[in-house]
Amino acid sequence: MSKPQVFVTRKLTNEVIAMLETVAHVSVWEGDTPVPRAMLLEEIEQADAVLTMLTERVDEELLRRAKKLRIVANMAVGYDNIDVAACKRRGVTVTNTPDVLTEATADLAFALLLATGRRLTEANRFLLAGEWTSWSPYLMAGQSVYGTTLGIIGMGRIGEAVARRAAGFNMRILYHNRNRKEEAEAKTGARLAGLDELLQESDYVVLLTPLTEETRHLMGGREFALMKKSAVFVNVSRGGTVDEAALYEALVSGQIWAAGLDVFRQEPVPLDHPLLSLPNVVALPHIGSATIQTRDEMARLAADNIVAVLSGKEPLTAL
């Protein structure tokens, strides 16, 4: 009997490819850019498994071409690029990579909070442009972090990890979530709050919800209007959770003080995007989980899921 076929949509480590080769023939898109859609459609016809990134859409068009597909292993915790319901109708398992990226993403979220609140990238540009000519008492003055109030929207694994970091900064922590998280409350002193209360009282608001129909444009003009004029908004979830036009207006009008963004509705974000023109925006290229160690673990977990399914076993992290 011939081995199953696995298609990997981005170049990964030799270790991960070797893991997959224990159970299958493996083909890999070697480019540094997303695999061309035409190639993905062609490869999926013979694939028993595909290891995807957030840049690949697994939709009805793709699934109609899949003759043997048994598993889609997404190398991300989010899976808004995958039509999970359509996969399940066809008996295709979908897996993600939770847990292994929690701490790295929480580190990035808190780093973005600090960088935005304290104007670190703006101050760096100021210095490099040769504009630092003397000391001044309010030169590049930012917002305090220690002892302020943090609002976390979406208290999943990453939200809880951000709360642990905030506790070390003696922050008062509010969170908004579908379910109460008593263990997180006990560890960090966080308190469950309604969304409006959280927005009105927080000095920093960190958005960490998955992108669903319910959370699309969760943060819009009404929500930004509730925030303090000195408040900082940080998004480390998905770009679609925010009405970017409303955020731009809130920043330009002074309705909120600044924003730190790791994600955008369109990625890569166009350089002429209005938000990139603002000095009070710290923008990053979706690097929440981007540490070498974390990305290695994510790739290994995705590969483990494929090996399990192709070996007739249960996947580790099925949706």
- Which residues are annotated as catalytic? 238, 267, 286
Residue owning tokens 């070390």: 168
Task: Provide the 10 A C-beta neighbour count for residue 142.
Answer: 17
* 157's tokens: 């694994």
**DSSP character string of 124-143:** HHHHHTT---S--TTTT---
**DSSP character string of the chain:** -PPPEEEESS---HHHHHHHHTTSEEEE---SSPPPHHHHHHHHTT-SEEEE-TTS-B-HHHHHH-SS--EEEESSS--TTB-HHHHHHTT-EEE---STTHHHHHHHHHHHHHHHHTTHHHHHHHHHTT---S--TTTT-----TT-EEEEE--SHHHHHHHHHHHHTT-EEEEE-SS--HHHHHHH--EE--HHHHHHH-SEEEE-----TTTTT-B-HHHHHHS-TT-EEEE-S-GGGB-HHHHHHHHHHTSSSEEEES--SSSSPPTT-GGGG-TTEEE--S-TT--HHHHHHHHHHHHHHHHHHHTTS--SSB-
Residue type, position 10, single letter: R
**b/e for 266-287, b at 16 or more Cβ within 10 A?**
eeebeeebebeeeebbbbbebe
